[in-house]
Chain A
Amino acid sequence: MILRFFEKILFALYALILLLAFSLAGVYFGLSGELPQLPQRLENINLSLPTEIYSNDGELLKVFGERLPVPLEKVSPFFLKAVVAVEDAHFYEHQGVDHKALVRALISNFKAKRIAQGGSTITQQLAKNLFFSFERKWVRKFKEILIALQMEASFSKDQILEAYCNQIYFGNGAYGVEEASHVYFGKSAEELSALQAALLAGLPNSPNNANPFTNYERAMARAGFVLDRMVKERMIGAAQKEEALSSSLELASPVEVNNPHQYFVNFVLDDLEKTYGKEFVYFGGLKIFTTLDARLQTEAQKAARSHLEGLDKRMGERSKSEPLQVALVSMENKTGAIRVLLGGRNYSHSQFNRAVSNNRMPGSSFKPFVYFTAMEKLGYSPASMVRDEPITMEIRGTQPWEPKNFEEDYAGDLILKKALMKSINVVSAKLIQQVGPEEVVKTARKFGVKSPLGAHMSLALGTSGASPLEMASAYGVIARLGMYVEPYLIQKIENFNGRVIYEHFYRSETRFPAKSIYPLLDMMQGVVDGGTGRTVRRMGFKHPAAGKTGTTNNFKDAWFTGFTRDYSTSVWVGYDSNEPMVDPKGRGLTGSGAAAPIWVFFMKKALENKSLVKFTVPDGVRIVQVNPTTGYLLEEGSSEPGMFVAVKDETVLTLPPLPSPPPALSSSQALSTLQQPEKTNDVPNF
């Protein structure tokens, strides 16, 4: 009986051994297809050439994929001891798997009915980091163990430890001990003190929770724990631990996350990814030389911040729930290079790039395109007269439209230049009614506006979204007297050994004759010198400049887009929620009050030490003085208040009929719409 029992036990043992062996073999063969191949060498694995992005003035804006692998000799022995003590005390004894730790973890996981504890050795962690996902699954764990066993059979302990130190994540974007040492302590891994080494060794386990920049106390507690482990494993003495704890940590200052260049950098990357693909950008080992002027970008952010702080105060309680946002784009007129692209107030708070988003309406800053279309298609000039009056427009299939002026008052008769200077909505609406919204859309396209534009009457008031980048680019066409230049961000791209693989070439295209554009430019100079944009002059900006303000319904958007000979700059201010910008006294923020001052602060810096350069008057244009309400030419030496306008040579302008003033017209006869000056003698300048 005993013998039989003993025989059965023996048989069961044999069967168990066989079953275990077959089970393991079965599991292995089941998984072998999913096991990754190991590389020949561990030193260079997972390393790629870094891609660097430079500004036009030579500043390194961003580096991608940079790894700083170091051999073990270049790592502080404190760190090596600390990391072994805290992560895998038996590292030098096991063959990839620590039995005790594994059994401990197994028991704990069975109790928890999930993978709560890893029990992973350094080799296993390296295997996981290199090849596997971070999901906690039994199958993944088994594969990780197999690869760890192969690693131990293929590489020396030092090779494994070195690869681990160079691959592991330490938080704050730092991969590898060398980069982590620089990020947290501003020194190389070789120079780490015992306390610093202990702090770093504690990070891979919880890179976010024990981050000394955000959780100093927790990080120090973790460092203390690591030092305890080191003492326990007899890697340092108790005295050394005390000495380490009493030493200074000398933590470096965290890298400023709110980098004003980040909006621009991201835009460049998006652009490159669309053209060449993600791999090319992040693994190409490229040197990307951009058009950004880092100094001006910083100035733009300063200008925006200081003005918005003032506006926030004015907004009172409202600013506490939501800060005002800003976008600023500045383009060099000569080349089309984007020198500044500020997509928001603070990158660390909001990464949404408002400078390139066309979700906001440009309001009156769209009017120059309406006026230009009317002048080109209907033969009007800046001296053509129009009547500003309440109107109702019948629109087929919808309610009649009654465009209102900003302050709901009406100026009566005035010339087009003055109407643009005062940004009169009624005039813009009349013009689009006559010329047709489709023609305005065509014109805007020729100016380089690429956003979808609704071909309807309200386009006269800028009701289709456009980005600050588009507006700066389109106004640049006016600054270049009709020459279109595609805005660009990248000057050239080199590969890692300096061979040029892409370079930008300037290409221009004449979209409009200079003599047609200059009258518009002159009208826009009027906006800055004495119109809705006169804040620019009030603030002491002396350079010859032209521009246009824009304020949308209920003060939701405030724009100022303007240009000098050198730069075209567009500024937008508003709330992301599209709420009205109205202060507690009920006063709203306008393009003139909210955006133009930022434009001035920025442009003053951009044009510092530059001489005042006037816009060139092209051939075929003459400057004349007219009566701003009738459009009649003023004789030299006339005492009447006049206004200078630029008109094409072929534009016919006449002196007022003498001696009596022109006969009054009935409202149905004229002035409710515009008329060609060339075609009538009764009312010479409509």
Chain B
Amino acid sequence: MNSTVFRLFGSGAILFFMLASVATLEFYGHIFEKGIGYYLKWQNPKRRQLGRAWETEHENTLAQRQVQSLLTSLNTKERNSESIDTLKTLVGTLNPSNLVSRKKFLQLYFDYPGQWARRIIDPWELLKIDSNKDWDRVLLSRSGQWITLSFIDPQNHPIHEVFLRLDILYEVQSTRTIQRGFLEEANFEEKRIFSIEDFLPLLQTLDPATQNNLFPDPKWFLQKDYHVTRVGIASESLPDRPEIALFGIEYKTDYYTNVLLIPVPLETSNNILSQIEQAVSDEFDDLYNQAGAS
């Protein structure tokens, strides 16, 4: 009996003491709230990001990702445009448009080895467009059978527009290609390859228009430190264009040897070929005669 009383009293006392302690700790120290709070804090990383605040956060992240993706795509486009190294590539790769700075356009325009660029727009016209300091960029776009070159101001309003028929693309595609290697690798026959020394006297006898069609301005080679070594003349026409033959100019750069391929009318090519072969043959005869005489 006593032991039961003692056990009950003990249990009761423990319970009372426990409850009193807990109540005191809760009253003065908020032990339950703190306990749950710290437990939840400990568990925090394991929980999911739910609720309005996180939704906003996710939407923010999504939006910023989208902005970033647009920026990346624009940067890529800009880099691609800036890395274009010839006017031919610029006009030939409209898918559906290319945007280049004024500086880049002028660089490509004046860098073109020949007169074709002038057919797009006259340099005097460029001077006029540039006169009011508004010209910022050039937008080249393709729509149906037309290519539009818009010379635009900083607000993207066109100052001047040039409309070119798509045919010009075919023309430019067969116009003045640069190919790495020697004339032989560009399929010029060995007997139709001549040194620049042999060719220049003949070129100088041609009328200025033919000269322009056949050979770029010497400035183009000299300014770039390109050293012209040989020329090649094809006697046969291009497979898809029976009236056109290729004229090749081989030049050395600091690192490579390149060939500039220029389509010329077959008639011009044959004419030059006959003249230069005659000149070389005469020269050979002279040498032979001199050798025989001696």
A residues neighboring B (CB under 8 Å): 3, 6-7, 10, 13-14, 32-39, 45-46, 48-49, 94-97, 129-132, 146-147, 149-154, 276-280, 282-286, 334-335, 491-492, 495, 499-509
Q: Is the CB of A150 within 8 A of B62?
A: no
Q: Is the CB of A35 within 8 A of B66?
A: no
B residues neighboring A (CB under 8 Å): 4-5, 8, 11-12, 15, 30, 33-34, 36-38, 40-41, 43-45, 47-54, 56-57, 59-60, 62-64, 66-67, 70-71, 74, 97, 99, 139, 141, 143, 148, 150, 152, 155-158, 161
Using A283-B60, A506-B156 as known contacts, list a sample of 19 further A-B pairs with CB atoms less than 8 Å apart, ordered by residue number in A: A3-B4, A10-B8, A36-B49, A36-B53, A45-B53, A48-B56, A95-B37, A129-B52, A130-B51, A132-B51, A147-B40, A153-B34, A153-B38, A154-B44, A279-B60, A283-B56, A284-B66, A286-B67, A500-B74
- Please, which residues of chain B bring their CB within 8 A of the CB of A503? 156
Closest chain-A Cβ to B140's Cβ sits at a distance in Å of 11
- Please, which residues of chain B bring their CB within 8 A of the CB of A276? 66
CA distance A606 to B83 in the complex (A): 45
- Please, which residues of chain A bring their CB within 8 A of the CB of B36? 146, 149-150
CA distance A276 to B143 in the complex (A): 25
Q: Is the CB of B63 within 8 A of A36?
A: no
Q: Looking across the interface, which residue of chain B has its beta carbon closest to that of A500? A: B74
CA distance A502 to B63 in the complex (A): 15
Q: Is the CB of A501 within 8 A of B34?
A: no
Closest chain-A Cβ to B15's Cβ sits at a distance in Å of 6
Q: Is the CB of A35 within 8 A of B47?
A: yes
- Please, which residues of chain B bring their CB within 8 A of the CB of A147? 40
Known: A153-B37, A280-B63. A505 touches B156 (CB 8 A): yes
Q: Is the CB of B52 within 8 A of A130?
A: yes
Known: A501-B74, A506-B157. A149 touches B37 (CB 8 A): yes
CA distance A170 to B59 in the complex (A): 24
Q: Is the CB of B8 within 8 A of A3?
A: yes
Q: Is the CB of A36 within 8 A of B155?
A: no
Q: Is the CB of A10 within 8 A of B12?
A: yes
- Please, which residues of chain B bring their CB within 8 A of the CB of A97? 33
Q: Show 10 A/B contacts (Cβ-Cβ < 8 Å), sorted by A.
A: A6-B8, A32-B47, A36-B51, A38-B41, A130-B52, A131-B52, A279-B60, A283-B64, A495-B67, A507-B148
Closest chain-A Cβ to B191's Cβ sits at a distance in Å of 53
Q: Looking across the interface, which residue of chain B has its beta carbon closest to that of A502? A: B70
Q: Which of B15, B41, B62 contacts A154 (CB 8 A)?
A: B41
Known: A36-B48, A130-B52, A509-B143. A283 touches B156 (CB 8 A): no
Q: Looking across the interface, which residue of chain B has its beta carbon closest to that of A276? A: B66
CA distance A150 to B40 in the complex (A): 6
CA distance A424 to B74 in the complex (A): 53
Q: Is the CB of A279 within 8 A of B62?
A: yes
Closest chain-B Cβ to A28's Cβ sits at a distance in Å of 8
Q: Looking across the interface, which residue of chain A has its beta carbon closest to that of B53? A: A130
Closest chain-A Cβ to B16's Cβ sits at a distance in Å of 10
CA distance A97 to B36 in the complex (A): 12
- Please, which residues of chain A bring their CB within 8 A of the CB of B53? 36, 39, 45-46, 130-131
Closest chain-B Cβ to A486's Cβ sits at a distance in Å of 12
Q: Which of B33, B59, B64 contacts A282 (CB 8 A)?
A: B59
Closest chain-B Cβ to A20's Cβ sits at a distance in Å of 11
Closest chain-B Cβ to A512's Cβ sits at a distance in Å of 15
Closest 8 CB pairs of A and B: A153-B37, A131-B51, A95-B33, A95-B30, A283-B63, A150-B40, A149-B37, A36-B50
Q: Is the CB of B50 within 8 A of A34?
A: yes
- Please, which residues of chain B bring their CB within 8 A of the CB of A10? 8, 11-12, 15
CA distance A506 to B150 in the complex (A): 9
Q: Is the CB of B156 within 8 A of A153?
A: no
Q: Is the CB of A37 within 8 A of B47?
A: yes
CA distance A654 to B34 in the complex (A): 104
- Please, which residues of chain A bring their CB within 8 A of the CB of B66? 276-277, 279-280, 284
Q: Is the CB of A491 within 8 A of B155?
A: yes
- Please, which residues of chain A bring their CB within 8 A of the CB of B41? 38, 150, 153-154
Q: Looking across the interface, which residue of chain B has its beta carbon closest to that of A495? A: B67
- Please, which residues of chain A bring their CB within 8 A of the CB of B59? 48, 278-279, 282-283
CA distance A129 to B97 in the complex (A): 48
Closest chain-A Cβ to B101's Cβ sits at a distance in Å of 14
- Please, which residues of chain A bring their CB within 8 A of the CB of B8? 3, 6-7, 10
Q: Is the CB of B40 within 8 A of A146?
A: yes
- Please, which residues of chain B bring their CB within 8 A of the CB of A154? 37, 41, 44
Closest chain-B Cβ to A285's Cβ sits at a distance in Å of 8
Q: Is the CB of B47 within 8 A of A14?
A: no
- Please, which residues of chain A bring their CB within 8 A of the CB of B34? 95, 149, 152-153
- Please, which residues of chain A bring their CB within 8 A of the CB of B56? 46, 48, 283
Q: Looking across the interface, which residue of chain A has its beta carbon closest to that of B43? A: A32
- Please, which residues of chain B bring their CB within 8 A of the CB of A35? 40, 47, 50
CA distance A39 to B58 in the complex (A): 13
Closest chain-B Cβ to A163's Cβ sits at a distance in Å of 10
CA distance A146 to B99 in the complex (A): 57
CA distance A75 to B8 in the complex (A): 59
CA distance A508 to B59 in the complex (A): 37
- Please, which residues of chain B bring their CB within 8 A of the CB of A3? 4-5, 8
- Please, which residues of chain B bring their CB within 8 A of the CB of A48? 56, 59-60, 63
Closest chain-B Cβ to A293's Cβ sits at a distance in Å of 14
CA distance A153 to B34 in the complex (A): 6
- Please, which residues of chain A bring their CB within 8 A of the CB of B54? 36-37, 131
Q: Looking across the interface, which residue of chain A has its beta carbon closest to that of B69? A: A501
Q: Looking across the interface, which residue of chain A has its beta carbon closest to that of B34? A: A95
Closest chain-A Cβ to B279's Cβ sits at a distance in Å of 52
Closest chain-B Cβ to A625's Cβ sits at a distance in Å of 36
Q: Is the CB of B63 within 8 A of A37?
A: no
CA distance A384 to B99 in the complex (A): 48
CA distance A548 to B286 in the complex (A): 87
- Please, which residues of chain B bring their CB within 8 A of the CB of A129? 52
Closest chain-B Cβ to A476's Cβ sits at a distance in Å of 16
Q: Is the CB of B47 within 8 A of A36?
A: yes
- Please, which residues of chain A bring their CB within 8 A of the CB of B43? 32
- Please, which residues of chain A bring their CB within 8 A of the CB of B143? 507, 509
Q: Is the CB of B49 within 8 A of A37?
A: yes
Q: Looking across the interface, which residue of chain B has its beta carbon closest to that of A509? A: B143
- Please, which residues of chain B bring their CB within 8 A of the CB of A278? 59
CA distance A507 to B34 in the complex (A): 66
CA distance A503 to B153 in the complex (A): 13
CA distance A508 to B148 in the complex (A): 10
Q: Is the CB of A152 within 8 A of B48?
A: no
Q: Looking across the interface, which residue of chain B has its beta carbon closest to that of A7? A: B8
